[in-house]
Chains A and B, each alone.
Chain A
Amino acid sequence: DAGITQSPRHKVTETGTPVTLRCHQTENHRYMYWYRQDPGHGLRLIHYSYGVKDTDKGEVSDGYSVSRSKTEDFLLTLESATSSQTSVYFCAISESGQGMYNEQFFGPGTRLTVL
């Protein structure tokens, strides 16, 4: 199993509060991703990183920011959480962005509830 951990695993917070989710990998993979999973939508990409300090937006990036100061850590921040951001958040890693070894491996997920 790929060495990917997410913290916290569960969080309940209130509307308007900032929230930071952490993804940590021990595989030294270059690419890291944040997805959200919602019923009826499958998984949708929020942001991704293709190297330290190199990030880009995905399909549903509004309301989220990310940072990657070290290869092993990718942080997802909700600046001011809203109820629409209640979801399960998955981090993923891949060795390559395209071509060989581009399959993504997922962390265990973080269940976030915004009241």
Chain B
Amino acid sequence: AQKVTQAQTEISVVEKEDVTLDCVYETRDTTYYLFWYKQPPSGELVFLIRRNSFDEQNEISGRYSWNFQKSTSSFNFTITASQVVDSAVYFCALSEAYSGAGSYQLTFGKGTKLSVIP
């Protein structure tokens, strides 16, 4: 069964600090997809990134970067020079590729609440 672990329940940083959110996953499949979502205090879920298991290139988007390492089954998310607007709950999620009941399911981690203090 697939599983996503976000060991950090809550993190507080001072504005402009860098912060890394950890995500460790378990899957039997060789083909799978990893995602990060942001849930700000307003409650909506915002898609940030999707990565497939064949693409281990790190990705950078502005102040956001993602480090995918299959060897350690990790897909970590770093925010550089954090801002108050980054305060949110961040979810990592996994989708396996096998077909069958529930095969389109996203398995979410329990989320990491990030608080950026001015």
Contacts and interface: CB of A to CB of B under 8 A. Distances in A.
Size band of the interface chain A makes with B = 20 to 34
A109 B43 CA distance: 8
Contacts of B85: none
B29 to A, nearest CB: 11
Interface of A is mostly: strand
B62 interface: no
Contacts of B99: 98
Contacts of A98: 33, 95, 97, 99, 103-104
B110 A56 contact: no
Interface in A52-99: 56-59, 88, 90, 92, 94, 97-99
A48 B105 contact: yes
Contacts of A45: 102, 105-106
Given A40-B110, A56-B102, A106-B37, 4 more contacts: A33-B104, A88-B43, A97-B103, A106-B44
